[in-house]
Every structure is written in C-alpha cells, then in structure tokens.
Amino acid sequence: MISPSVILLLGWMIIPLSLTIYFSFLRYNLITPTGNPFVGWENYYWFLTDPSFKAAMINTLVMVGGILLITVIGGIGFALLLDRPMWGQGIIRIMVIAPFFVMPTVSALVWKNMFMNPVNGIFGRIATGLGFEPIDFMGQIPLLSIVLIVSWMWLPFATLILFTAMQSLDQEQLEAAEMDGAGWTSRFIFIVLPHLARAITVVILIQTIFLLSIFAEILVTTNGGPGTASTNLTYLIYVSSLLQFDVGMGSAGGVIAIILANIVAIFLMRMIGKNLDA
Amino acid sequence: MARSVSNRAKALNTAVAGTLGFLMFFPILWIIVLSFKTEEDAIRAPLEVLFNSGWTLESFFTVQERSDYFKHFSNSVIISLGSTFLGLLIAVPAAWAMAFVPAKHTKNVLMWMLSTKMLPPVGVLVPIYLIFRDYGLLDTRIGLVFVLMMMNLPIIIWMLYTYFKEIPGEILEAARMDGASLREEILYVLTPMAIPGMASTVLLNIILAWNEAFWTLNLTAAKAAPLTAFIASYSSPEGLFYAKLSAASIMAIAPILIMGWFSQKQLVRGLTFGAVK
C-alpha cells in the first residue's frame, strides 16, 4: 500500500534531479539553439566565477543568518512572555501567530508600500514627522528590508515551536531552583535554555531549509536589486534560467543549491530520526 | 496553579505581551482599515486615515471588476483543495500500512520520504519548467495541483503516520475479540479514531498550498494564476493604489487566517516532523 507514494516520490525526486544534473553539463540556451553540446564543468566554472554568484552567496548567508538571529531571539522572548500568567493569553497568542498565515506576496507588498515607502509609508511619515530624512528602504537598504519582512513572517513560527516546547518544562524544577535562591538569569541559563536547546535547533534547521528558498518576497519587492544587492542564490538561479533562458547555467546553480540545502538537511534528518523510535 | 500570582504582575504581563502582540498584528490590522477607505484617503497620514475619513466598500468592488478576483480565488481553491485531497488519497494507504503493519524498513522509507521535502525547489525548477512547457502544462491548474501535491505529500504522509501511530493497538484487539471482521474493524473502529488527525492534516496542507509562492509564481501566467500570483501583479506600479492593494490582500488572506487560527497545534506537529512535541 505504500507503493503509490514511493513510486511517485521516487519519480518526483529522480527524474527532475537527474535532468538538472544532466542539463548542468550542457551548453543549453533556450533562445540560441546550439544543439546542446556537452561542455563538462564549464557551466559550473562560469556560475561559480560570476561576480553575482559571490554576491548572491553573501546575500543568502546574510539573509538566512539575520532572519535566524531575529526570529530565534525574538521567538525565545515571545515564548517566555506568553508562558507567563496573563489575561487574554489566547487572543494575544493569535495576534502574534497571525503573520505566519499571510501569503508571502501579500506580506512583502504590504510592508514595501504601506510601511517602507519613503513618501506614503508609515515609517517614512514617522521619520518626516520627527524631522529626519525618510529612508528609501528598497533603494538604500534592500537586503535589510527583506530580512525585516521575512523575519516578521517567521517570528510566529519560532514563537509557536518554542512556546510549545516551554509547556513541557517542569514547573516544579523551576520552583525548586527558585527556592534554592537561583535568580531569574541563572534559572533561564541553567534550566530554561537547556530545555529549549532541542527546539531551538529544530527551529534553526527547518527555517534554514525554507529560508534558503526565499523567492516571492524578493520578486515583488526589489527584483534582486539594485544591481545584485538583494539577489540570493534562489533568485540568481531563477534569473539565469527563466529570464536569461540559460538552462545549463541555471541547472549548475540548481545543483549547487541542492548541495547546500543537503548539508543542512543531514543534521535535521538526524534529529528527526532520533525522535522517531519514541 | 502551584503558586499564586499577584494581579499586578499579571496586569504587567498582559500589558507587555498585549503591546508586542498588537505590534505584530498591526500590519494586518492596517490593511483591514485601508481596505475600507477610498484611494485618496488611504494615502493620508495614519491618524487622519483613522479618525478623519469615511468608510467605503468601493475598493472591494473595484478589485473584482478590474482584475477578476473570483477567478484567482477559485484557482486558489481548486489548487489547494485539489492538491491536498489528491495527496490524501495517495498518503492514507501508505501511512496506514506504515503505522499498523510496520516492516523492517518502514523507518528508513519514512525518513527518505521526508528527505525529498528538503530538496530546494529551485534545484528542480529548470527541468520541471521544461517538462511543463513540453507537455502544455504551463499555466494550467492541473499542473499546479500535481506539483503542490508532490511538494506536500511527505508532510501529509508524515502527519497521518504520527496520528495513526497514536491509535492504541489494544482497541483493535478488543474489537477482534468481540468478533469484528476486518471490514468492521476499519469502518467502525479505526476510521472514527483517524478522522480528527486526517482533518488536521487536511487543514495544514490547504494552508501550505494556499500560500505556496514559488511554483505558483513560476508556472502560471494568466489563466491558472492563484491569489499569490494575483497579488504579485500589484508589485508595480499598481501597489501605489493602497486601498485596492489592501482590499485584494485581505480577500486573499482572510480564509487562511481563519483556518490558521484553528490549526496552531497541528502546525507544530506538521512542520517540525515530530521533532518538537
């Protein structure tokens, strides 16, 4: 009974994957038919030595790193906060989690126009109101703007996972530590943080896999620009394969993207595997 | 509760968390407000928008007239429901077999299925695009249904597996002792117990498919474009029409926001693959 799923997934994985690898060794451009000769590692060479590849790699790292930093620290903060006794906790939690359900194109456009637009956006108006020169977010700090937008979308995810993990924390252990005179900081460092360590790792790994593929947010805000200032690896591959019609080059990029994602995936799969026997 | 908490501490917590929660929610709230304004009012200063301008439904009608919102809405519905239920059809037997008749390799198979989910979509963009072009699947709903089903199939199988796993085996034995046939066992014992898990799985996958914005943007043009692509068309210069962009956005996210609120718990289970409980 598992065979339909296995066959489908196997086909889904092997056919495109082997085609990607195959194309990556061809000179294959959709607008200049050259008969697609085999060119060995040429595409990889050109892809890897292209200055925009270096820019895209740095941007990808900055994006993933920045978003992880904001969402993990913010997520721990929110999880601790929501775990405290308060009124209306359910409603507050819903408000915090809501951004996760907003589709990427909506979040990106709303932030770009309603908040980050230098003239009519709320940030711009606040800056002007205080007598500052408003920042042109997408022109001057495109990468940071995208980091902020995507962080807003993923902070709820980190919060939700860490909050779930917090609830399995043994309250009596905390109380015992408190009785023994442990202050808030030492309780946090020696009890809460070790308890959350596993959940934090999971958040980091899963988010990294998704964040490596950020695409729509870039497409509707900066188009990767100005220049390549906000182009990540995913977007660069999209540009070379679907905009420049360079199938060979795009495929070589695709193979590199797969290798990068797999490095993260190996660690993630190990953690899932450990938990599977339970 | 083991220890009593003073009302003052509670009030302070509520105030801090409430403020931060409100800030997180503010962008959504703001587009709700703007969607009920005229274009001229929507670009005024925020305080004036709130306290010094009228309310109107005009933008919602304009969005429908100008860009046929319902066509994109129905594309989204067909694609997300279609991919989810097709996926369910294929996943239920697999998850069922792995949960109730585990074999030696079940764990490895499951892990391998999950690993297909870790493949970055952009790594297979080129071949999928070319295959779709050659077989006339570009900009068709059926093509997207298939791709999104394949994207979410590992998650569907995984979630169903964990839910089925939770059904205690003793109940099956008890039913057998009472003389239930296999058919009765499945129909009257297992199915009722499996339905809540299946419902959660469906819910989460509709959300994921609805918001998917890599394949839907790359494989559609006009005909089959779902709401993600519809909103993307506002990127420029139409994005400057705040009221219309807001109205379109609200209509695109409202169904999923409501569903999302019901599925917070399943989200943790489905997206962490059981690594966090």
Q: What is the pLDDT of residues B167-217, one digit of tens each?
A: 887 887 888 888 888 788 878 888 888 888 888 889 889 988 999 999 999
Is pLDDT above 90 for A210?
Answer: no
Please report whether residue B99 resides in a domain. yes
Contacting A residues, span 114-173, partner chain B, CB-CB under 8 Å: 114-115, 120, 122, 125, 152, 155-157, 160-161, 164-165, 168, 171-172
Contacting A residues, span 6-65, partner chain B, CB-CB under 8 Å: 6, 8-9, 12-13, 15-17, 19-20, 23
The residues spanned by each domain of chain A are 40-276
Please report whether residue B201 resides in a domain. yes
Is pLDDT above 60 for B159?
Answer: yes
- Smallest Cβ–Cβ distance between A215 and the set B213, B235, B265 belongs to B213
Token couple for A181? 């005179």
What is the structure's pLDDT at A152? 96
When pLDDT is averaged across residues B114-143 and rounded to a whole number, the result is 89
Please report whether residue B193 resides in a domain. yes
Is residue B2 very low, low, confident or very high in pLDDT (cuts 50, 70, 90)?
very low
Please, what sign has the CA dihedral across residues B98, B100, B101, B103? positive
Where do we find the tokens 């089925």?
Answer: B164
Q: Do A264 and B253 touch (CB under 8 A)?
A: no
Q: Do A101 and B217 touch (CB under 8 A)?
A: no
Q: Do A106 and B276 touch (CB under 8 A)?
A: no
What is the structure's pLDDT at A26? 87
Is pLDDT above 80 for B272?
Answer: no
Q: Are B275 and A271 in contact (CB under 8 A)?
A: yes
**Residue A38 bridge partners (DSSP):** A26
Number of folded domains in chain B? 1
What is the structure's pLDDT at A266? 87
Across chain A, which distance is largest between two alpha carbons, in Å?
Answer: 78
Stretch among A207-211, A224-228, B169-173 having the lowest mean pLDDT: B169-173
Please report whether residue B157 resides in a domain. yes
Please report whether residue B34 resides in a domain. no
A102: contact with B, CB 8 A cutoff: yes
Distance CA A124, CA A135 (A): 7
Domain that holds residue B224: 71-233
Please report whether residue B254 resides in a domain. no
Task: Give how far B179 is from chain A: nearest CA, Å.
Answer: 25
Please report whether residue B62 resides in a domain. no
Stretch among A122-126, A175-179, A269-273, B66-70 having the lowest mean pLDDT: A269-273
With CA atoms as reference, the chain B residue closest to A205 would be B272
Please report whether residue B9 resides in a domain. no
Q: What is the pLDDT of residues B67-95, one digit of tens each?
A: 888 899 999 999 999 999 999 999 998 98
The CATH number of the domain holding residue B220 is 1.10.3720.10
Token couple for B270? 């489905």
- Kindly tell me the burial class for residue B155, based on how many C-beta atoms sit within 10 Å of its own C-beta (0-12, 13-18, 19 or more): buried
Is pLDDT above 80 for A278?
Answer: no
Q: Are A66 and A147 in contact (CB under 8 A)?
A: yes
Q: How many CA atoms, within 13 angstroms, populate the side-chain half-sphere of residue B191?
A: 7
Distance CA B249, CA B253 (A): 6
Determine the distance from the C-alpha atom of residue A175 to the mean position of all C-alpha atoms in its chain, rounded to a whole number. 37
A100: contact with B, CB 8 A cutoff: yes
When the candidates are 1.10.3720.10, 3.30.2130.30, 1.10.760.10, 3.40.30.10, the CATH number that belongs to A40-276 is: 1.10.3720.10
Task: Give how far B155 is from chain A: nearest CA, Å.
Answer: 12
Determine the distance from the C-alpha atom of residue A273 to the mean position of all C-alpha atoms in its chain, rounded to a whole number. 23
Is pLDDT above 90 for A138?
Answer: no
